[in-house]
Structure 1
Amino acid sequence: MRKCPFCNFKGDSMAKVVLENKHCLYMQFYNHNLEGKGIIIPKKHKETVFELSKEKWQATYDLLQKAKKILDKEFKPDGYNIGWNIGEVGGQSVFHAHLHVTPRYSDEPFAGKGINYWLKGSKNTRKSSN
C-alpha cells in the first residue's frame, strides 16, 4: 500500500497548514492558478466523506467557516466552489477524504462556470444503457 500523502500532513513544498482543529486541518496550496485554493482533510485516515462521523462533519464545517474568513480577508474572492470528489469516476485521485475549497474570481476565463457546467455539457452524456 502506498503511503498516504495526507496522513500526518505538516506542510511541504506544495502546501502549508493554515488552520486545524481536533479532527481536521485546512491546507492551502502555494502556487495554484486560483489564489487561496486549499483543502480540508480529516486527520484520521478516511477514504471518503461517507466514512466521516457527525462530529468530524461538524469539525469540517467549523474549519470551512474559519477558512472562508481568512480567504475573504486575504484574497477577496468573488465566489467559491466547495466540493468532494469521491471514487475514481468522481475524480478522486488521493484516497483520503478531502474537501476542496476553491476561491473563484470574476476575471477568470471560466468565471461563472461551476462544476455543473462541465457535468451537464453535451460531451458528458452517457452512452445508452439499452
Structure 2
Amino acid sequence: MYQDNCPYCNLDADKEQEIVLENETCYFIQKESEQQILQGSGLIIPKHHKQDVFELSEQEWKDSRDLLLGAKKILNQKYAPDGYSVGWNTGRAGGQSIFHAHLHVIPRFKDEPHAGKGIRYWIKQKENMRK
C-alpha cells in the first residue's frame, strides 16, 4: 500500500507538488512547473499505492469522482476554462510512466494551439497504426 520510491506515495519529496484538495482516500495535487504550459492542470491520486486505475476500491472511485467535481469547481472559478481533458493512462503502452494510479485533470482553452484535439486525437493518427 506504500512504496518508498514512488513520487505519489511520498508527496513531500517533491517540493513543487501541492495538495489542493483531499478526502478520505485521495488527493488532488498540482505541480508548479507544469502550470506554465498546462495552466490549472493537476492529478487525482489515491493515498494508498495502487498500480493502476483497475486496482482502485469502490471507495477510491467514489472519492476520485468527488475530488474531480471539487477540482472542477475551483478551476472554473480560477481559470474559466472552455473545456477539460480528463483521463487515466494505464500500462506502458497506454502512456503510464509512474506506476501509481493517477487521473489527469487538464483545463482546456479555445485559444490553445491544440484546442479541439482531445485525448483520442493523438492515438488516432495514421502514424500510430499497428503494423
TM-score, structure 2 as length reference: 0.91
Of residues 12, 15, 21, the one that matches 1:13 is 15
Structure 2 counterparts to residues 32-47 of structure 1, below 5 A? 32=34, 33-47=37-51
Higher helix share: 2
Report the alpha carbon displacement of residue 34 of structure 1 after superposing the two structures with TM.
Answer: 1.6
Partner of 2:58: 54
Distance 1:72 1:11 in 2: 29
Runs (4+) of structure 1 exceeding 2 A deviation are 10-15
Change (3 A) 1:4 1:49: same
Residue type at the aligned position of 2:49: H
Moved more, 91-100 or 27-36: 27-36
In 1: Cα distance, 2:95 partner to 2:123 partner? 12
**What is the aligned partner in structure 2 of residue 109 from structure 1?**
113
Q: Which residue of structure 1 lines up, in the alignment, with residue 125 of structure 2?
A: 121
**Cα displacement (A) at 1:11:** 7.3
Q: Give the length in aligned residue pairs.
A: 127
Distance 2:88 2:19 in 1: 19
Instruction: Supply the AA of the counterpart residue of 1:25.
Output: Y
Q: Which amino acid aligns with 2:67?
A: L
Quick one: percent identity of the two aligned structures? 54
Compute the RMSD of aligned alpha carbons. Answer: 1.5
Provide the residue aligned with 1:67 in structure 2: 71
Q: Aligned equivalents of 1:110 and 1:101: distance in 2?
A: 16
Q: Which structure's CA Rg is the greater one?
A: 1
- Secondary structure of the residue aligned to 2:115 is coil
Question: What is the Cα deviation at residue 116 of structure 1?
Answer: 1.1
Contact 1:17 1:26 (8 Å CA) reproduced = yes
Gaps of 5+ in 2: none
Which blocks of at least 5 consecutive residues in structure 1 are unaligned? none
- Alignment-mate amino acid for residue 116 of structure 1: R
